[in-house]
Amino acid sequence: MQPGRMTIEREDVDGVAVLALATPDRDTNVVDDDMLGSLAVRLAEVVADPDVRGVVLTSARASGLGVGADVAWLPELAARTDAEAFLADVHDLMLRMVTCPKPIVAAVHGTALGGAFELALGAHVLLLGDSAVIGLPEVGLQLMPGGGGTQLLGRFAAPSTAAELLTSGRRVRAAEAVELGLRVEVVPDADLRDAAVARAATLAATHDGTAEDPAAGRDADGTGAAAVAARRDELAAGRGGLSRAAGAILDVLAVGLRDGLAAGLGAERDGFL
């Protein structure tokens, strides 16, 4: 996965590589081939750099991390002859983030929706500025998140919360994210970058390189499966019923809880296509 143009800036601060999304000629970042390819290149750089101990993923744009993929690009993606291979590359990139031997801290201010939020969910720690608005709105377009969101959100939220947010598609402000029990830290926007650098450095000081096992299930006691089933019943009993997209999202969420992140990503890929 190689970018046509580099859309992620890099600045090293005290052994922490700060990677800032910066779509050229736009006020808002867009997740596309160039952005994903740029992240793959930058991630490989920092993993190989012995002077880098930790990573911060953030935005160079005042508007925030971004709004995900350009909506007009999504039908093009589904119609591409290489769509399956492309999504496999995207999911491989997310697995590389999750299993990165150096701690990654996502620092999110402003808007982070869809694919942009999915990139943040690949980090090990999620810091939100007090202006942050996050969400995975794809279900409103009768689509499944395609960048790992069905699996990655559950790393920061209880299964019941992940099921509700994925199938409602609603936007959540930073303060509500805390109220919902998401495993996030909220700091003032003005302090966000410095706080993220400090957090990455602190994590690096004690991190032994052990990575999350993407093959390990996350629902040993069955509470996750019960939460997914409860959300399915709730939607089915509602006025609009259980939409096809919401049902598919819950199916894929259940796979990941039962069989692990890698299996869940495979199910997401199949469901998106």
Dihedral angle over CA of 50, 58, 199, 260, nearest 10: -80
| Span 124-128, average pLDDT | 98
- Does the global pTM surpass 0.85? yes
| Nearest alpha carbon to residue 175 among 135, 125, 117, 131 | 131
Among 9, 11, 76, 118, the active-site one is 118
Q: Is 138 a catalytic residue?
A: yes
The packing angle between helices 83-98 and 33-48, to 10°, is 30
Q: How far apart are CA 192 and CA 111, in angstroms?
A: 14
Q: Residue 35 in contact with residue 8, Cβ under 8 Å? A: yes
Q: Is 179 a catalytic residue?
A: no
Q: Residue 143: is its pLDDT beyond 70?
A: yes
Q: Residue 97: is its pLDDT beyond 90?
A: yes
Q: How far apart are CA 172 and CA 145, in angstroms?
A: 17
- pLDDT of 69-86, one tens digit each? 766 566 666 667 788 888
Greatest mean pLDDT among 69-73, 140-144, 226-230 lies in: 226-230
Among 138, 179, 185, 268, the active-site one is 138
| Span 180-189, average pLDDT | 98
| Span 252-269, average pLDDT | 97
Quick one: pLDDT at residue 72? Answer: 59
Dihedral angle over CA of 256, 209, 122, 129, nearest 10: 130
